[in-house]
Amino acid sequence: MSKSRPKASKEVKVIEGKDEKNVYDYVSLKELPNFAELNQQVTKLVDSSSWWDRHGVDWMILFLSFGLVFVALFLMKSSNIQTVALGVFVLGCCHSTIAIKTAHLVQHGALCSSKALGTFMVYFVSDLCGSFSGDLGYDIHIKVHHPHTNIIGLGDSSTWKVPFVPSYLYMFVVPLFLPVVTIPIVLKDIWGKWKSLLTYLILMPLGLTINLYLLMNISGFSFWGAVLCTLTYRAVLAIPYIHVNIFQHIGLAMYSPKSRPKRIYQMSTGVLNLPRNPFLDYTFGHAIVSCHIEHHLFPKLSDNMCLKIKPLVTKFIKENGLPYYEDTYMNRMWMFIEQYNELMVNAPPISHFVGIQ
């Protein structure tokens, strides 16, 4: 296996052959497991779960985050610099929970069963609260990334790469500028999609106006102080946000659009879970951090339900001889620093899994 891939379950036996543009992995499986069996187990568990497990836990986290926004605003009113810094940090965490965790859930229809409420929430948490177009998020994430996970030229995570930037700058400095470049990038990408553009140009300035008003009238900032505070708190979790997004796909198997494997194999070989993290689990969500494989197999489930089905998915994948990739945050971070050119600059090799295609 490529040295950038973590070890999979012991049941998987892989013999590697590699040339400049291709990786040939022979996997000793005679046939792929039937995804319908896993789907049946998961459906039974979901159907027997309460509304609280399916949606309530994640709604509670969202409401708690909105409550903590006002705690942060009052903390930043203090004349003590440490208290102000704490307020900025808390506000940054709340922003991540609302604009990343919740926005991700509502894009998948995983926060609620009501389509109307789900649509409202997409624009509320993305365009209004997060200054990111919900329509663009749907196009990028739902229509491309999920169905074409690790398919070269489609969902290969290449949009995260900035090959002309050195490794340490990319890993630890560039992410801090995400709040500055987000709006120009969104405008560029939705230009010509007039309905989406109009929606964004109404909701995004409205959201920023409310944000600046609260910072000026509760926390006591001047206008430019409120602008600087906004850029700062929105950058609080920008570094781990970039890290998590590249750690969980790049460096794993990448397939040609002409020879993609079946979905169960595509997801088990192209997705990686990070360990549970009591901080990132609630600012980014289980589906993005510790249950990413489960999320890619069952994208319409909430963060809490992804965590609940994790034992079923882990058992099924490992018992059927498929890889179930897991690695620590620090291992992945050092790997990306040491192998930056291979992973983030050069084109990825195409994986060919011989014997079960």
User: What is the residue range of 71's domain?
Assistant: 47-155+164-345
What are 288-309's pLDDT values in tens digits?
999 999 999 999 999 999 999 9
Q: Is residue 265 part of a domain?
A: yes
pTM, to two decimals? 0.90
Ranges of the chain whose pLDDT falls below 50: 1-2, 9-17, 355-357
Q: Is residue 353 part of a domain?
A: no
SS3 labels along the chain: CCCCCCCCCCCCCEEEEECCCEEEEEECCCCCCCHHHHHHHHHHHHHCCCHHHHHHHHHHHHHHHHHHHHHHHHHCCCCCHHHHHHHHHHHHHHHHHHHHHHHHHHHCCCCCCCHHHHHHHHHHHHHHHHCCCHHHHHHHHHHHHCCCECECCCECCHHHCCCCCCHHHHHHCHHHHHHHHHHHHHHHHHCCCHHHHHHHHHHHHHHHHHHHHHHHHCCCCCHHHHHHHHHHHCCCCHHHHHHHHHHCCCCCCCECHHHCCCHHHHHHHHCEECCCCCCHHHHCCCCCCCCHHHHHHCCCCCHHHHHHHHHHHHHHHHHCCCCCEECCHHHHHHHHHHCHHHHHHCCCCEEEEECCC
pLDDT at 100: 97
Q: Is residue 19 part of a domain?
A: no
Average pLDDT score, the chain:
90
Q: Is residue 189 part of a domain?
A: yes
pLDDT at 1: 42
Q: Is residue 149 part of a domain?
A: yes
Q: Is residue 30 part of a domain?
A: no
Domain count, the chain: 1
Q: Is residue 36 part of a domain?
A: no
pLDDT at 324: 93
Q: Is residue 355 part of a domain?
A: no
What are 325-343's pLDDT values in tens digits?
999 999 999 999 999 998 8
pLDDT at 260: 80
